[in-house]
Amino acid sequence: MMTDLFSKFDALIEQREHLLSTGLTDPFNLVMERVESPTVAICNGQRTILLGTYNYMGMTFDPDVIASGKQALDDYGSGTTGSRVLNGTYAGHKACEEALKTFYAMDHAMVFSTGYQANLGIISTIAGKDDYIVLDIDSHASIYDGCALGNANIVPFRHNDVEALEKRLKRIPDGAKTLVVLEGVYSMLGDIAPLKEMVAVAKAAGAMVLVDEAHSMGFIGEHGRGVAEAHGVIDDVDFIIGTFSKSVGTVGGFCVSNHPKFEILRLVCRPYVFTASLPPSVVATAATSIGKLMHGADKRAHLWDNSQKLHAGLKALGFTLGTETPQSAIIAVIMPDLEKGAAMWDALLREGLYVNLARPPATPANMTLLRCSLCAEHSADQVDQILGMFEAAGRATGCID
Ligand SMILES: Cc1ncc(COP(=O)(O)O)c(C=O)c1O
């Protein structure tokens, strides 16, 4: 018999065909035909409010950000065609790393081509075969992939459970080197980690700590440095990972650290060395955006108002949410199953609202979620419109009474 390496996808193909046979728009294949602003796009020919972009601070259309990208295109061309360790480090890459060092008040910053590669590279390079990585079970795929690439021993603990972390750390063999990996905001349910307690427990056990602040940078903490800043433990964290694809409003990833030997990573981190660096226009937009995020207190306050208003409104309508109170700019609406979730997603799109449909295996506990992420550029009026759309779609699909 002929081998068909695709047979393992049969169940998924069948499930997908079944879902689409009901006439729904494919939730994983939507085209943004035109994008007007951080909060509005044209989808299926219709003006659509965007509520699933992670564009928390709305920097994608910031005039200064756009101007710096255009200038870099003119001055440096469209791409570097090279690795950071060969011909791919331009003045703009260094300027972007300087902007990160200033933003976080840290000694070192290393820019990667994506946040995924930052986790992949840093985790796999610092924790290898005989080392241990203790991580929250709900960690992002890029964290798990980083663990797998480095071939470290993986010890997961129950989501956001400080005692479970402590117990796992006690079971690590004496003398083994350990990295604890945490996230500031968990992107599926929008809940934040008890970093103050967790970092204390990790440090007491002699472990190093890496925190992925992908969903908190720019928004959480007095200077927008993330949950570690908000919880007063940023100086105890060894490595912060982040992305340019959310609050910064472009693409790219990074790690910042005060570790005195950090710079050696540039020579030994494979996902940094064996790939081309970001285009000059991208690092220019990132550097400008990061500089502006340092002074984003008003935007942070407005984003917080939006999150609270949407959370309270959805709760009042009768939806079940991922958190009891809003903890971040992500609000997850829990759907009873994939069919209902897809129907609700489709009904919202028809109303003129885009949210993310999230399903297992990306979600915890097999949940189907409609993930909403707010933007500092959403007006109060847009949040009211969003609530009206949830009410109409919820009634039409029987998700609420
Ligand atoms: C927690 C977390 N880490 C890392 C990433 C990867 O970021 P990027 O989009 O820059 O690859 C994401 C993005 O989905 C994320 O949610």
DSSP string, 273-339: HSSBPPPHHHHHHHHHHHHHHTT-HHHHHHHHHHHHHHHHHHHHHT--BSSSS--SSEEEEEESSHH
Report, as an integer, the average pLDDT of 126-146: 97
Q: Is the pLDDT of residue 364 over 90?
A: no
Which among 255, 252, 224, 263 is positioned nearest to 238, based on CA atoms? 255
Q: What is the pLDDT of residue 365?
A: 87
Give residue 243 CA to ligand 1 midpoint distance, Å. 6
Give residue 221 CA to ligand 1 midpoint distance, Å. 19
Closest approach atom of ligand 1 to CA 119: 4
Give residue 54 CA to ligand 1 midpoint distance, Å. 10
Q: What is the pLDDT of residue 271?
A: 98
Give residue 174 CA to ligand 1 midpoint distance, Å. 33
CA dist 43 and 376 (Å) reads 21
Residue from 181, 192, 213, 245 to probe ligand 1 pocket by mutation (most atoms less than 8 Å from CB):
245
CA dist 140 and 222 (Å) reads 25
Q: In 10-152, where do the E strands start and end?
A: 32-37, 40-43, 46-50, 108-112, 132-136
Closest approach atom of ligand 1 to CA 140: 1
Report, as an integer, the average pLDDT of 395-400: 96
Residue with the smallest CA separation from ligand 1 atom 3 is 214
| Three-state secondary structure string covering 238-251 | CEEEEECCCCCCCC
pLDDT-derived band at 360 (thresholds 50, 70, 90) equals confident
Closest approach atom of ligand 1 to CA 117: 11
Give residue 143 CA to ligand 1 midpoint distance, Å. 9
pLDDT-derived band at 23 (thresholds 50, 70, 90) equals confident
Q: What is the DSSP letter of 218?
A: T
Q: pLDDT of 137-183, one tens digit each?
A: 999 999 999 999 999 999 999 999 999 999 999 999 999 999 999 99
CA dist 29 and 346 (Å) reads 12
Q: What is the pLDDT of residue 109?
A: 98
Give residue 213 CA to ligand 1 midpoint distance, Å. 9
Residue from 123, 159, 243 to probe ligand 1 pocket by mutation (most atoms less than 8 Å from CB):
243
3-state secondary structure of 32: strand
Mean pLDDT of the chain: 97
Give residue 248 CA to ligand 1 midpoint distance, Å. 12
Give residue 401 CA to ligand 1 midpoint distance, Å. 36
Give residue 118 CA to ligand 1 midpoint distance, Å. 9
Token pair, residue 29, equals 């294949």
Identity at 12, one-letter amino acid code: L
Residue with the smallest CA separation from ligand 1 atom 15 is 214
| Pairwise pLDDT comparison (302 vs 19), residue with the higher score | 302
Q: pLDDT of 171-219, one tens digit each?
A: 999 999 999 999 999 999 999 999 999 999 999 999 999 999 999 999 9
pLDDT-derived band at 395 (thresholds 50, 70, 90) equals very high
Token pair, residue 147, equals 């663990």
Residue with the smallest CA separation from ligand 1 atom 7 is 115
Q: Is the omega angle on the peptide bond into residue 361 within 30 degrees of 0, that is, cis? A: yes
Give residue 26 CA to ligand 1 midpoint distance, Å. 23
Place of tokens 């433990």: 233
For the chain, what's the residue count? 401
3-state DSSP helix/strand/coil % of the chain, to nearest 5? 45, 20, 40
317-323 contact pairs (CB < 8 A, 24+) = 317/387, 317/390, 317/391, 317/394, 317/400, 318/394, 318/400, 318/401, 319/390, 319/394, 319/399, 319/400, 322/188, 322/189, 322/190, 322/191, 322/369, 323/189, 323/190, 323/191
Buried b (16+ CB within 10 A) or exposed e, 171-210: ebeeeeebbbbbbbbbbbbbbbbbbbbbbebbbebebbbb
Give residue 312 CA to ligand 1 midpoint distance, Å. 27
Q: Is the pLDDT of residue 1 over 80?
A: no
Q: What is the DSSP letter of 83?
A: B
pLDDT-derived band at 119 (thresholds 50, 70, 90) equals very high
- Which residues approach ligand 1 with their CB closer than 6 A? 114-116, 119, 140, 142, 183, 187, 212, 214-215, 243, 245, 253
Residue from 140, 143, 183 to probe ligand 1 pocket by mutation (most atoms less than 8 Å from CB):
140
Report, as an integer, the average pLDDT of 37-50: 97
Residue from 122, 142, 241 to probe ligand 1 pocket by mutation (most atoms less than 8 Å from CB):
142
Token pair, residue 143, equals 């964290």
